Copies of this chain bind each other. A is one copy, B any other.
Amino acid sequence: MPTAVERRASLLAAADRVVQRDGPDASMNVIAAEAGITKPILYRHFGDKGGLYSALAARHIEDLLGRLRAALLTRGGLEARTRATVDAYLTSIEERPQVYRFLVRRAAVEEPGVRGEVEGFVRRFGDELANGIRHEPALGDVDPMRALVWAHGIAGMVQAVGDWWLDHPDVPRQVVVNELTELLLAGFSRP
């Protein structure tokens, strides 16, 4: 007899399997079947579909944000940090494309207005990055508003290139990393 949190974890694992196999449009029935149970149990554990998706997304978002944070702390200059972060992002896409698709497509659509739930991971990354930029030693003091606009712009830039790269798998990752890093660094070194 598993505990409640174990059960919950196993349900999330099942949902994860389905999403990775069938893409980000998994239905509650299919997820329940994969977990070997029926729908109402899912609803008792997660409230509604948004709740399940939030829980599932939260897990991957924390993982991805963890990688990005670690990359942002890379020792070396601004260039090394930038390159490491971009590379971490694109590597995550390469390793689990379905998860990435789930994060950027599905988790952002489930009307984040009503509850301040997940709010899309690009947003969260942008908000964190804004803090990082404000305190980046190589940049000096940056106006908070400027940091916000820049951070969300940079996050969106990396995301858009990642999306584009998803549909152009022939392009080597290193090439994309190089171009993006160069573009970003040029943006940082303003006159």
Residues of B within 8 A of A163 (CB): 152, 156
Interface residues on A, range: 35 or more
* Chain B CB within 8 A of A73 CB: no
Q: Are B105 and A180 in contact (CB under 8 A)?
A: no
Q: A105-B109, A186-B191 are in contact. Are A176 and B149 (CB under 8 A)?
A: yes
Complex alpha-carbon distance, A157 and B145, angstroms: 16
Alpha-carbon separation in the docked complex, A173 to B163 (Å): 27
A149 touches B180 (CB 8 A): yes
- Apart from A156-B161, A184-B187, list 13 A-B contacts with CB within 8 A: A109-B109, A145-B171, A146-B179, A149-B175, A149-B176, A153-B158, A153-B180, A153-B183, A156-B158, A156-B159, A157-B157, A159-B160, A189-B191
A residues in contact (CB < 8 Å) with B: 105, 108-109, 122-123, 126, 145-146, 148-150, 152-161, 163-164, 171, 175-176, 179-180, 182-184, 186-191
